[in-house]
Chains A and B, each alone.
Chain A
Amino acid sequence: MSTRAALLVGLALLAVLALVPADLTGLGVPWPGLKRYGTYILTLWLVTAIAAMGVNLIVGYAGQETLAQAAFVGIGAYLTAIAGKYGVPFGVSFAASGLLTFVIGIVLGFPALRVQKHYLAFVTLAFSVLCWLVFRNETALTGGVMGIRDIERPVVFGLKLRRAVDFYWFVLAITAAMTVVLWWIVRSPWGRAFAALRENPLRAESLGVDVRLYTLLAFALGSAYGGMAGSLYAPLVEFIDPSPFALGPSLLFMLMVVIGGSGTFLGPFVGAGIAVLLPEWLRAWETWYLLIYAVLVMVMMAVFPGGIVGLLSRFKLPSPVFGGGVGVLRRRRGHEQRD
């Protein structure tokens, strides 16, 4: 797939997403736009997708495990909320959230050099619980279970993003930038090295790939995406408490990536969309929602382990839309060439 085609598809998607919440009836298009809540949900989807992209880098591309992404989102969210109380501008907190979670990601990556698979999952799980305890118990800093309220929205070029749609566009711009960055990384020789450590670390090492360094890099980059998502999450919801950063949501991030299509570029967006929208659609069923979700996951894993993006690619949709992954898609294309 050419970079140009991907760029064009990306720009088209960006334009559509930018217009979705807007009222287009004035332009002769019968689309009244989204109300405040709809725009909020759409923004939440983008923020969730950023964090899921990070998980996808760690799990889908580099073949590691993490059950701590919600903790990283929490670190970014609390940092931004607390710094905001001291008048620190959003740009600074956002950068600091990325940097701090990048560094913590490196530290969390070290166990990955010694243990693999579910052992690694357990180490990250312990980290997740640790963070949650800090969020809940360090009341002086985090407000404990009472949380932190009245988190200020960022100010961009003198405009305070009070309106839901203004903040949405702001988040959309950041999501687009972060998507391009990740796209670049996974298609660069770094992406190839990540794939190598997923497929065969022993052989990768013998070919000069510094497996230790790339493992740490994958954790650092993926966790930083979590931290930056958290930094956007705090001003989005304007109130944070420890519950969205607990172990459950961390598991949910892993699920999103698997359902969307692990190791495919658009998988996290699809997975995050389902995770954010499904509770809204299934609201009438209330607690049944989790049951339905669980059944959906089990059926998915049994029938199409490549996730939704993997499934869609079977219908020979144009590869610029779904390409970029080194996973199932590449294999499909290989088959097609042989035919």
Chain B
Amino acid sequence: MTARLEVRALSKAFGGVQAVREVSFDVHEGEILGVIGPNGSGKSTLFNCILGQLAPTRGTVAVDGREVTGLRPSQLNRLGVSRTFQLLQVFPRLTARENLILAGQEHRGSRLGRLFGPRDAGLGAEADRMLDFFRLGTLAHETAGNLSYGQQKLLDAAMAFMSGSRLVLLDEPAGGVNPTMLAGLRERLAAINREARATFVVIEHNMEFVMALCTRLIVLAEGRIIAEGTPVEVRADPAVIEAYLGH
């Protein structure tokens, strides 16, 4: 079976700093892979290289067996790969509903067709369904900038699913979200994973969140994979404890 995402010997150097070194891994359909590691271990750089935000120095990335190294983020997104960012990235002056429609519209029909088509690009109902699913239904017409931090985080995550992407890379979805809302977010992500067979790669510092959500983990330290396995295996790995607790 072809892996949904295949990363092969990916390296990224910034001048003399090797941020990511020879990282290889596969993610299969329906998996939730966690990527953990101390600050500065190269997690976000790895994401940015996979997603075309940064050009990798070496190595390849393939989605469903098709090589995508060097494609622009918008092209990759149209191939069905979505992401969220570490820092909050919603469009503050658009309403929550508009944010969601925007997130899906470039996947609908032709560009010229969209100019002459309906205002909501035929995505109004889908946006409302997504708002309800993430329990933001009452806030549909609120401008995103007026939502609470946690609500914006939920909206941010919801946007990644509007295009029907089945591979979603989430960069610290739990950062700054309060525990109640966090449980809600985890449960929503798990539901999408179950129901839509969506595949996730999640960078996260919140161990409790990662251990509960992910089926498999890889651990990065200084740009290298130092451990890989189920949450239980990884937690017991001496190399991981060493990396986290320092030398």
Most B-side CB within 10 Å, residue of A185, A204, A334 = A334
Instruction: Decide if B146 touches A338 in the complex (CB within 8 Å).
Output: yes
Most B-side CB within 10 Å, residue of A188, A207, A211, A326 = A207
> Once bound together, how far apart are the Cα atoms of A206 and B170, in whole Å?
12
Q: Which residue of A lies closest to B116 (CB)?
A: A188
Interface residues in B, total, Cβ within 8 A: 40
> Once bound together, how far apart are the Cα atoms of A185 and B115, in whole Å?
7
Instruction: Decide if B102 touches A196 in the complex (CB within 8 Å).
Output: yes
A326/B93 contact (C-beta < 8 A), A334-B146, A335-B146 known: yes
> Once bound together, how far apart are the Cα atoms of A203 and B51, in whole Å?
12
CB distance from A202 to the nearest CB of B (A): 7
With an 8 A cutoff between CB atoms, is B91 at the interface?
yes
Q: Which of B89, B92, B94, B106 contacts A208 (CB 8 A)?
A: B106
Q: Which A residues touch B105, using CB under 8 A?
A: 189, 192-193
A192/B107 contact (C-beta < 8 A), A199-B91, A206-B51 known: no
> Once bound together, how far apart are the Cα atoms of A209 and B82, in whole Å?
12
Contact with A along B113-148 (1 / 0, CB 8 A): 011110111000000000000000000011101100
With contacts defined as CB atoms under 8 Å apart, how many contacts are there between chain A and chain B in the complex?
A: 107
Beyond A193-B102, A206-B85, A337-B142, list 12 extra A-B contacts (CB 8 Å).
A189-B101, A189-B102, A189-B105, A190-B114, A195-B102, A199-B91, A206-B53, A207-B77, A209-B74, A330-B143, A331-B145, A334-B143
A200/B145 contact (C-beta < 8 A), A189-B119, A207-B77 known: no
What are 27 inter-chain pairs, A to B, with CB distance below 8 A? A188-B114, A189-B101, A189-B102, A189-B105, A189-B114, A193-B102, A199-B92, A199-B93, A200-B89, A202-B89, A203-B89, A203-B91, A205-B73, A205-B74, A206-B73, A206-B74, A206-B77, A207-B77, A207-B159, A208-B74, A208-B78, A208-B106, A208-B163, A210-B74, A210-B106, A327-B93, A333-B141
Interface residues of chain A, those whose CB is within 8 Å of chain B, are 185, 187-190, 192-193, 195-196, 199-200, 202-211, 213, 326-327, 330-331, 333-335, 337-338
Interface residues of chain B, those whose CB is within 8 Å of chain A, are 51, 53, 72-74, 77-78, 82-83, 85, 89-95, 98, 101-103, 105-107, 111, 114-117, 119-121, 141-143, 145-146, 159, 162-163
Q: Which A residues touch B77, using CB under 8 A?
A: 205-208
> Once bound together, how far apart are the Cα atoms of A333 and B143, in whole Å?
9
